[in-house]
Amino acid sequence: MRRDLIAAAVALRIGAGQAMAGWTVLAGRCLFYVLIMTVLSALWDKVAAEPVQGAIRLPAGGLVLYVLATEWITLSLPSVHLRFEDDIRSGGLEPHLLRPKFYLLQSLAQNLGGTLVRLAALGVTAVVWLAATGREGPPAATYPYLFVLGVLAVTVGMLLYALAGLCAFWTRRILPVMLVIQKLMFLLGGLFAPITLYPDWLRKIAEATPFAAHLYWAGVQALHPSGAMFLTAVAWQVLWIVLLSLLCVALWRAGLAKLLREGGV
């Protein structure tokens, strides 16, 4: 176990190094973040400026900070699902099984390393964008909370993507699974608007899902900073990280058993 953790730490460092080496790609991602926030902020400013009688009341100050946080997390995620799909379908997985390192843990750690670099770069981009546009950001004391929630949120998202990738053991193509997960992120994660705007019954369901742990809790902390809400968010995120990790291991073992029994997918 100790050797696996040391190997995972090395893989995490390699993943971070690879992300920094590809700085041109990282710069492009930051530029896209600026572009999409410019468009979405203009949209939400327009919506907030023209309230409709009888419509749901939007939070004071608009939803720009909320969307800024959720897009920060979304754009930091790795394409770990595509790597799993390629390795499982192409037979590239077999050489890894002969090595003493746990392939699943190594892959997740390496992807997490790159994700943390992107999270940092996009976080700096968000602060610069707020300063350049003259918008008021969250209170300074909120930034450490957002950092913790952001790291936990991308871990939840990466595990959701990993689950989709591991489905390749049975489905070969994971596009349908990914489409379902992405739509649930929109609906239950509250990608563009807080789930607190939903009816109570739907809000309660959404808050208990991994999709809210992935996006909503960090986003709402940027909009309405609160120590109590931060602790609630961390509890939900840690819970889902543990459950999704166990589910990933279970899928991996079941898929590997199928692969060894049938000789291919």
Percent of the chain whose pLDDT exceeds 70: 94
Is the model's pLDDT at 54 over the cut of 90? no
Is the model's pLDDT at 57 over the cut of 90? no
Is the model's pLDDT at 178 over the cut of 90? yes
Which pLDDT score, from 0 to 100, does residue 183 have? 92
Mean pLDDT value across residues 38-60: 70
CB contact at 8 A, 67 and 215 = no
pLDDT tier at 95, thresholds 50, 70, 90: confident
pLDDT tier at 100, thresholds 50, 70, 90: confident
Which pLDDT score, from 0 to 100, does residue 71 have? 94
Cα separation, 259 vs 71, whole angstroms: 37
Task: Please give the model's pTM, rounded to 2 decimal places.
Answer: 0.90
Which pLDDT score, from 0 to 100, does residue 264 have? 63
Long-range contacts of 240-249 (CB under 8 A, 24+ apart): 240/156, 240/159, 240/210, 240/213, 241/152, 241/155, 241/156, 241/159, 243/210, 244/156, 244/159, 244/160, 244/162, 244/163, 244/210, 245/159, 247/163, 248/104, 248/108, 248/159, 248/162, 248/163, 248/166, 249/104
Q: What is the mean pLDDT of the chain?
A: 89
User: Per 3-state DSSP, what percentage of the chain is helix, strand, and coil (rounded to 5)?
Assistant: 80, 0, 20
Which pLDDT score, from 0 to 100, does residue 56 have? 54
When mean pLDDT is compared across 47-51, 154-158, 184-188, 222-226, the lowest value belongs to 47-51
Is the model's pLDDT at 52 over the cut of 70? no
Mean pLDDT value across residues 17-38: 93
